[in-house]
Amino acid sequence: MLATVSGTAVSFVLTVYNKRRYLADVLASVAAQAGGFEREVIIVDDGSTDGSREMLESLGQHLPGLRLITQPNQGPSIATNRGLAAASMPLVKLLDGDDVLAPDATQHLIECMECLGVEVMIGGGKPGETAPGPLPHVPGSPAPLNH
């Protein structure tokens, strides 16, 4: 029998390669995740050349628990594996540098896992879908895109 995952901790593992224009929105959506679960944010910058790393360093000062890992460009698989290796929480939510989460996305997946008694859950997204309502603003970042 699986233990319930309610109130469990989540590692958000975000891989970035040249996604500067999306980062304020992405980080705001991660910061706005509803739920009482413990969390950490691990970002792997995979050798971005568009100022992504500098933006992450700036925004990271405003997000408690954010860990930024930088590496020369080695591709998304290696960046993801490096982020997974750094994750310390029992659940992991993988994100790409342009993924914007609905505010209840993570809590919803946790509740579904608990209800179904599963250890793995993958949420579906829709390319180009806009966030419902305005995104919160991360201090020190440009205003969110709010597609």
Residue ranges of domains in the chain:
10-116
* Model confidence at 139: pLDDT above 80: no
- State residue 120's pLDDT score: 83
Q: Is 47 left (phi over 0), alpha (psi -120 to 50) or beta?
A: left
**Range 10-116: architecture per CATH:** Alpha-Beta Complex (3.90)
Note if the pTM is more than 0.85.
no
Average pLDDT over residues 64-79: 95
11-20, 23-32, 86-95, 135-144: the lowest-pLDDT one: 135-144
